Structures are given as structure tokens and as C-alpha cells.
Amino acid sequence: MSEQHLDSFTQQQKQAYDRVNQYLLDALNALPFTDLPLAQAMRYGTLLGGKRLRPFLTYAIGSMFGVSQENLDAPAAAVECIHAYSLIHDDLPAMDDDDLRRGQPTCHIKYGEGNAVLAGDALQTLAFQLLSSAPMPDVTDKDRIAMIAELSYASGLAGMCGGQALDLDAEGKQVNLESLERIHQHKTGALIRAAIRLGAFAAGEKGQQLLPVLDKYAQSIGLAFQVQDDILDVIGDSEVTGKRQGTDAEHEKSTYPSLLGLEAAQKKARELYHDAIDALETLQSHGYNIEMLSALANFIIERKS
């Protein structure tokens, strides 16, 4: 990636980060009982750093189709609410039992398990409140309903929750590569795919016509993201990643490095990157600017946190 393209990507990533953070803060502050520990736990779990990859995807896809940011704020925030809820619950003692997230105490460590459970629950409902009632001036009711259906599907048993259940069931077992990919396509990939699809639904018919191509891109970067996560758990710096290194091994989880070896896992990430670029070239052939999506695919396999 050229230095100019990298600068442009970094700038747009920061703009998306700042924009969705402000929108989320406003939405959280508009809720009742803001003085309760529950409300504080929701803000903490949602606004405690992070890359905002999923909102960025929603903004990037929608913008590619010419959708204004005002029409993309609610879906971008909604998908981040689901992501934040999933992380809060993933960190709980009954799940991954982590005490560090983004270099800070996890939500249940700071606010207690009860408030952490409720914070995740309330963030999930906030996501659908935003999709159903927040302003999206140029989005039809039909496409708004499609967004609700998409995020619901990606968040539930058929998507993220199902993937987490498969992951829990696999702890302490040696699973094969096919099973591992199935876990990650649901646990991580489903929400990334949904973020992309929300941007496409905001564009109406022209976005929906290209869903098969967008799904191929989503599948490639979603799996690449998880492969890189597995790699960072082995070779990452805890001060950079914000998580304790080696937690996958502690929980006896099968990972790409444990199944393939570190070098082969790194090769797998690069192959997935090239698969993503192949999908983008199809979009480019339809006249769309793929620069930001290409830069994001590169960022996913090169990131250190």
C-alpha cells in the first residue's frame, strides 16, 4: 500500500471512529437511569477503545454506494453495540474468564458480574432500538427492516452466539481445521458480514444487487481477522494488544497456529487477504472505488493489536 493510500485510510478510519463514538455516547446519554452502575457499565464496555472495524465497514460500504453518513450512523452504531455486548459477555467467568480488555479491567471486574451481564443485554436491545427508530432520512422502511433482520440473524444462534457455543464446546478438545473455520465463520465472521450488509442495505437495490460479491469479501476478511487474532495470541505484545498473551493455550483452545503451525497460519492470513482482493476487483469492474476496502484488508493481516 502506498504511503498516500495509507494516510487516506488512516484518516478515514479515524473519522469513522470519532463519528460513531460520538453517536454512541449521545445514544447512551439519552437513556434513562444514567447514574446507575448499569448505565456506567454500558458506557465503559462500549467506549473503552477498540478499532471500530465493524462501524468502519458499514460507513465504507455505504459511502462506496453514495450513501450519506447521516444514513449510516444508526446501523454503524447498532453493529458496534452488538460487538460491545459480545465482548462484555465473552470476558465473563462463565465464558473466557478474562480480566483485561484493551489494556483495562474487563467490565465485570470493574462493575461486577451482574452489571456486566445486564450491560450486554441492554446494549443488544439498544442496537435494535437504533435500527428501528433512529433517523435514517433516505432509507426506506423495507430496507430498515432488512437491516433489523440481518443483524438479528448474525447475532443469534445462526451467527455469533452459535459460534460462541461451538467455541465453548471445543475447549479442551482437538478440533480439525474445518471445525475451527466453522466456529470462526459464526463467532467473528457473521458480525463482520452483517456490518458490510448493513451498509449495502442502506443503499437500497444497488447495494443488494452486489451482496454475493460483498459476502465473499466479508468471508475472507472475517476469517483473516480471526487468524491474525490467533497469531497475535502467540507472538503479540500484551502492552500493544491490550490482552494477556497466551490465553488461548491456557483455555486449551484449538487455533490456527496450534493446528497449522505459526508460519502456515501466517501464510493462511495472506491467502485470505488475496481472496478478499479478488472479490474487490469484481466490485471495481462495476465502477466502484475499492481503495478503502483494499486498505482495510491489508490492515487486518498486518495489525499488531
Extents of the domains making up the chain: 9-302
Q: Are 108 and 90 in contact (CB under 8 A)?
A: no
What local confidence, expressed as pLDDT, does residue 96 receive? 87
CATH number of 9-302: 1.10.600.10
Q: Residue 223: CB partners within 8 Å, gap ≥ 6?
A: 181, 184, 185, 188, 189, 272
Q: Residue 295: CB partners within 8 Å, gap ≥ 6?
A: 1, 5, 6, 8, 9
Helix (H, G, I), strand (E, B), or coil: what is residue 96? coil
Q: pLDDT for 280-300, tens place per residue?
A: 999 999 999 999 999 999 999
Q: Give 251's pLDDT tier (boundaries 50, 70, 90).
A: low
Q: Is the confidence at residue 244, as pLDDT, over 70?
A: no
pTM, entire model: 0.92
251 vs 168: CA distance, rounded Å:
10
Q: pLDDT for 260-273, tens place per residue?
A: 999 999 999 999 99
What local confidence, expressed as pLDDT, does residue 66 receive? 97
What local confidence, expressed as pLDDT, does residue 172 receive? 83
Q: What percent of the chain has pLDDT over 70?
A: 92
What local confidence, expressed as pLDDT, does residue 174 receive? 85
Q: Residue 268: CB partners within 8 Å, gap ≥ 6?
A: 227, 256, 260
Considering only residues 249 and 88, tell me which one the structure prediction assigns the higher pLDDT: 88
Helix (H, G, I), strand (E, B), or coil: what is residue 259? helix
What local confidence, expressed as pLDDT, does residue 3 receive? 61
Instruction: Tell me what the pLDDT averaged over the chain comes to.
Output: 92
Considering only residues 10 and 18, tell me which one the structure prediction assigns the higher pLDDT: 18
Within 10 Å of residue 46's Cβ, how many Cβ atoms?
25
Measured on CA atoms in the order 264, 98, 159, 60, is the torsion positive or negative? negative
Q: pLDDT for 138-193, tens place per residue?
A: 999 999 999 999 999 999 999 999 999 998 898 888 899 999 999 999 999 999 99
What local confidence, expressed as pLDDT, does residue 41 receive? 98
**DSSP letters for 115-184:** HHHHHHHHHHHHHHHHHHHS--TT--HHHHHHHHHHHHHHHSTTTHHHHHHHHHHHTTS---HHHHHHHH
67 vs 139: CA distance, rounded Å:
9
What local confidence, expressed as pLDDT, does residue 171 receive? 83
For residue 66, give the amino acid letter: G
Considering only residues 211 and 305, tell me which one the structure prediction assigns the higher pLDDT: 211
C-alpha grid cell, residue 149: 433482520
181 vs 100: CA distance, rounded Å:
26
Task: Name the nearest CA neighbour of 38 among 97, 122, 104.
Answer: 122
For 73-86, the three-class secondary structure string (H helix, E strand, C coil) is: HHHHHHHHHHHHHH
What local confidence, expressed as pLDDT, does residue 57 receive? 97
Q: pLDDT for 71-107, tens place per residue?
A: 999 999 999 999 999 999 999 999 989 998 988 999 9
Alpha carbon distance, N-terminus to C-terminus of the chain? 19
Q: Give 68's pLDDT tier (boundaries 50, 70, 90).
A: very high
Q: Residue 89: CB partners within 8 Å, gap ≥ 6?
A: 95, 116, 117, 120
Task: Name the nearest CA neighbour of 65 among 210, 194, 189.
Answer: 210
C-alpha grid cell, residue 52: 471500530
